[in-house]
Amino acid sequence: MRNHVRERRDEAELSQADLAAAVGVTRQTINAIERDRYDPSIELAFKLADFFDCRIEDIFDPELDG
């Protein structure tokens, strides 16, 4: 699943460690999400959307077929 976490984080001028601390995960997890190597749980997706004050769909793109 593609996402815009990196762009959002850059806009907020935060490090991966800062964002990780804010949403309660490790820096490696944020790094894996930004590199499209890990799809977060619904709970974490909600936390990220809440942190960036937007909807989940604004950050995550499921790339649905059709």
Partner 1 sequence: MSDHEPTGTGRLAKVRRYRRLMYACIGVGVGGFLVATEFDYPLVGLVVYWAGILAFLGVWKGTSVTLYDERDLDLERRASLLTLQIAGAVGLLAMTTLVVTDQLPSVDVPERVVGGFLAISGLFVLYGIVYTVVRYRR
Q: Which residues bind partner 1 (CB under 8 A)?
A: 14-22, 24-29, 32, 38, 40-41, 43-44
Q: CA-CA distance, 21 to 36, in Å (whole number)?
A: 20
Q: Which is nearer to partner 1, 44 or 49 (CB)?
A: 44
Specify which residues 61 forms β-bridges with. Answer: 2
In the complex, minimum distance from the CB of residue 66 to partner 1, in angstroms, rounded to a whole number: 28
Q: CA-CA distance, 34 to 37, in Å (whole number)?
A: 8
The residue type found at 40 is P
In the complex, minimum distance from the CB of residue 28 to partner 1, in angstroms, rounded to a whole number: 7
